[in-house]
Amino acid sequence: MNFDRIKEKLSILADAAKYDVSCSSSGSKRTNKKKGLGDSSGMGICHTYTADGRCVSLLKILLTNHCIFDCAYCVTRKSNDIKRAAFKVQEVVDLTINFYRRNYIEGLFLSSGIFKNADYTMERLILVAKKLRLEENFNGYIHLKSIPGASDDLMYEAGLYADRLSVNIEIPTQNGLKLLAPEKNREDFLKPMKKVRNEIVKYKSEKKLIKSTPVYAPAGQSTQMIVGATNETDAQVMYTAAHLYKKYNMKRVYYSGYVPISYDSRLPAIGTEVPMLRENRLYQTDWLLRFYGFSIEELLNQKHPNLDSDIDPKLSWALRNLHLFPVDINKADKQQLARIPGVGLKSVYKILQARKYRKLGWHHLKKMGIALNRAQYFILCDSRDFLKADMSPQQIKSKILAQGNSKYKPLFNSQLNLFE
Amino acid sequence: MKIVLFDHSFEGLLSAVFEVFHLKLKEAKLIGQNNHTASFFDEEIWVSTDQEKAARVAKGIVKVGGKSDLTWLYRCFLSELAEVPQLILEYIRQLMVDKHSGKNDFSRNVVIQLQKINKMIGREKHRMDAFVRFEKTADGLYFAGIAPDFNVLPLNAKHFKNRYADQHWCIYDVKRDYGLLYNLESLRHVHLPSVNANLHSTPSNLLAEDEVAYKKLWKNYFESTNIQERANKKLHTQHVPKRYWKYLSEKYILDY
């Protein structure tokens, strides 16, 4: 192996792959077979964190950054003047195995620029996964990119070797896509997504009858949207996400704040700040949809097309719906508890468990670690000290903000003033 | 107040609990022998480890609280924190008096304290799963030194055994001076007198031929996958506190 050449390729092709945020390595059920290498049946593991604070759990690389497309938002677009490189299939296999054996990674996340055509590219990706599984008896995590426009047969084969498949729709709106990637259309993205969804559904039903049905993409599929590249609203992003969760059984939708990489006038200029706070609020909304029983209409609608930046979306919802509060900690059911600002799912669990033994007062809640600075305005508990319930939403909000200590504070001062 | 001393083993701790119940001590303080400074006013009782007594206590815990309670207490014990034996005694006492009370009663102080310790243990165990960096030696053994805050290596055993079933590996706790060695068949405890207390200090002539090259590739990957525009030092150190940097070869300046 020529390590110097590999090193050069690795820096080019890792650099090009880094804008894909998915790094999840959990959710698979692949156990070690026949004393082979690896196991991905447990929880995901972040083996290290980059200086930007993002987790590194997979070897995330492109097979090549040669690409026939010219999507404005993408760093490997055809017209971009950058160094190009391509890995050989065996090189990716060797890197993965050797990194895995040293406990650097949980597995491989392989994506690629599109060379020749969609099927040709997809075939190469599958070849890597197949080699890892069949020749190396590798049971670590493999995440393959579904190449837009790839044929159904290939998508079926990909799922036999990969734990997760993903296709990034990247631009949340149709108009945005037309503007930034005129050569692509939404159907190309949705086609492999549909095939994978159908195969997963089929696998799950067949598995019940025939135990030996070959495993198909056990960690499901995911996708990613870039936010802040076009002038989409939060509602547009999240309605698209909610649709994908519902219609395509997505395991995850990722939101990636656009990092300016181009002088193209259709896009935010280089040097524009990455919308990290917005990204964070979108993830919070995503969690509320998936785990907290909220529906998208409650959080974002015609009247509120964008999320508040200064407070989290649950608090924002609660302030708009004060008539549903206060909630009695000692009586409310699980769903009601989960809707209290400052009470997360772990706190809900603790409350449900602890109240079997005795009525809970403020001191109990505090010891459990519940964020009372927010929760106190929305709950009743076993105590005579009730907070007066006649505060207006604005009063509560400014009280909470006055106590808060967000690093984003400078960003939302102006909006605060508007409110009062 | 009676001071009950034991030998720092889990069985020793359970034997001490047995004696507290047996002697019907209302006010007892359980302390590992090395953490105790004798005082003029306290009466000391030394309890020697008795497997049979320990097994009886363990059986009692399992009977009332279930197997998960015993594992939970064992995990807390691995923290080696001086206050843990006493907390465990209090917990068992409560469990035996009020059989409905358990480790989910988050309104009780003992439970909250033990849950907190258990969480610390879980986190440290998970960090070791993540931060162990094997170095391949010239004779094909994958070796890693660790120095965890708590004695979590026993908890890591299963994870690594499942994962690296086809390679010889050894993880060595340099702080507690013992390790686990896997030989493709089974795991065993080892004590290696010549292991250096500094991590990543294996002399390069003992390493496999391509080891340094892979270390460099990994470091190279680590740096290439970073997004400069999103730099967030605070978040970075929150995830990887500085005391763990010594494990991570990618954060080292390689001087080979």
Instruction: Indicate whether B40 and B100 sit together in one domain.
Output: yes
The region of weakest confidence among A209-213, A247-251, A408-412 is: A408-412
Residue with tokens 């908890």, as numbered in its chain: B155
DSSP A194-229: HHHHHHHHHHHHHHHH-TTPPP--TT-EEEEEEESS
Instruction: Indicate whether A130 and A84 sit together in one domain.
Output: yes
Instruction: Indicate whether B155 and B214 sit together in one domain.
Output: yes
Question: Rounded CA gap, B189 and A134, in Å?
Answer: 33
Specify the number of domains making up chain B.
Answer: 2
End position of a domain, from candidates B123, B152, B179 = B123
For the residues B53-71, what does the mean pLDDT come to? 95
Instruction: Indicate whether B137 and B31 sit together in one domain.
Output: no
Instruction: Indicate whether B109 and B212 sit together in one domain.
Output: no
Instruction: Indicate whether A292 and A317 sit together in one domain.
Output: no
Instruction: Indicate whether A9 and A78 sit together in one domain.
Output: yes
Instruction: Indicate whether B104 and B167 sit together in one domain.
Output: no
Q: What is the CA radius of gyration of chain A?
A: 24
For A187, phi then psi, to 5°, come to -55, -40
Report if residue A305 sits inside a domain.
Answer: no
| Cβ-based contacts of B214 with chain A (< 8 Å) | 98-99, 102
For A249, phi then psi, to 5°, come to 45, 40
Instruction: Indicate whether B97 and B140 sit together in one domain.
Output: no
- For all residues of chain A together, what is the average pLDDT? 92
The reply to whether residue A10 touches residue B220, judged by beta carbons under 8 angstroms, is yes
Instruction: Inform me whether the pLDDT recorded for B197 exceeds 80.
Output: no
End position of a domain, from candidates B92, B123, B154 = B123
Instruction: Indicate whether B23 and B92 sit together in one domain.
Output: yes
Instruction: Inform me whether the pLDDT recorded for A193 exceeds 60.
Output: yes
Q: How many CB atoms lie within 10 A of CB A361?
A: 16
Instruction: Indicate whether A69 and A172 sit together in one domain.
Output: yes
Cα nearest neighbour of A6 on chain B: B217
Report if residue B21 sits inside a domain.
Answer: yes
Instruction: Indicate whether A321 and A292 sit together in one domain.
Output: no
Cα nearest neighbour of A1 on chain B: B210
Instruction: Indicate whether A130 and A75 sit together in one domain.
Output: yes
Report if residue A323 sits inside a domain.
Answer: yes
Instruction: Indicate whether B8 and B113 sit together in one domain.
Output: yes
Condensed to tens digits (0 to 9), the pLDDT of residues A267-285 reads: 999 888 999 999 999 999 9
The reply to whether residue B142 touches residue A36, judged by beta carbons under 8 angstroms, is no
For the residues A35-53, what does the mean pLDDT come to? 91
Instruction: Indicate whether B145 and B197 sit together in one domain.
Output: yes
Instruction: Indicate whether A180 and A52 sit together in one domain.
Output: yes
Instruction: Inform me whether the pLDDT recorded for A418 exceeds 60.
Output: no
Nearest Cβ partner for B166 among A35, A42, A351: A35
Nearest Cβ partner for A103 among B133, B166, B216: B133
For the residues A370-377, what does the mean pLDDT come to? 93
Report if residue A226 sits inside a domain.
Answer: yes
Band (pLDDT 50/70/90 cuts) for residue A387 is: low
Condensed to tens digits (0 to 9), the pLDDT of residues B14-29 reads: 999 999 999 999 889 9
Instruction: Indicate whether A410 and A287 sit together in one domain.
Output: no
Report if residue B90 sits inside a domain.
Answer: yes
Nearest Cβ partner for A56 among B166, B225, B229: B225
For A110, phi then psi, to 5°, come to -110, 120
**Domain containing residue A230:** 3-299
pLDDT in the model for residue B23? 92
Report if residue B237 sits inside a domain.
Answer: yes
pLDDT in the model for residue A409? 67
Instruction: Indicate whether B111 and B166 sit together in one domain.
Output: no
Question: Rounded CA gap, B91 and A4, in Å?
Answer: 59
Report if residue B79 sits inside a domain.
Answer: yes
The region of weakest confidence among A36-40, A122-126, A153-157 is: A36-40
Instruction: Indicate whether B237 and B160 sit together in one domain.
Output: yes
- Contact A42/B at CB under 8 A: yes
Task: Tell which A residues from 314 to 373 touch B, by Cβ distance under 8 Å.
Answer: 350-351, 353-358, 360, 364, 367-368
Report if residue B24 sits inside a domain.
Answer: yes
| Cβ-based contacts of B133 with chain A (< 8 Å) | 102-104
End position of a domain, from candidates B99, B123, B147 = B123
Instruction: Indicate whether A94 and A185 sit together in one domain.
Output: yes
The domain that holds A106 is classified in CATH as: 3.20.20.70
Report if residue B51 sits inside a domain.
Answer: yes
In this structure, is the dihedral angle defined by the CA atoms of residues A342, A344, A350 and A353, taken in order, positive or negative? positive
The reply to whether residue A353 touches residue B222, judged by beta carbons under 8 angstroms, is no
Instruction: Inform me whether the pLDDT recorded for A188 exceeds 80.
Output: yes
Report if residue A304 sits inside a domain.
Answer: no
Report if residue A111 sits inside a domain.
Answer: yes
End position of a domain, from candidates A299, A333, A368 = A299
End position of a domain, from candidates A274, A299, A324 = A299
Instruction: Indicate whether B36 and B115 sit together in one domain.
Output: yes
**Domain containing residue B209:** 132-251
Condensed to tens digits (0 to 9), the pLDDT of residues B101-155 reads: 788 888 889 999 999 999 999 999 999 999 999 999 999 999 999 999 999 999 9
Nearest Cβ partner for B231 among A48, A51, A137: A51
Specify the number of domains making up chain A.
Answer: 2
Band (pLDDT 50/70/90 cuts) for residue A415 is: very low
Instruction: Indicate whether A58 and A164 sit together in one domain.
Output: yes
Report if residue B256 sits inside a domain.
Answer: no
pLDDT in the model for residue B132? 95
For B181, phi then psi, to 5°, come to -120, 130
Closest-CA residue to B218 (of B244, B245, B170, B250): B250
End position of a domain, from candidates A264, A299, A334 = A299
- Work out the minimum CA distance from B185 to partner chain A, whole angstroms: 10
Question: Rounded CA gap, A260 and A246, in Å?
Answer: 31
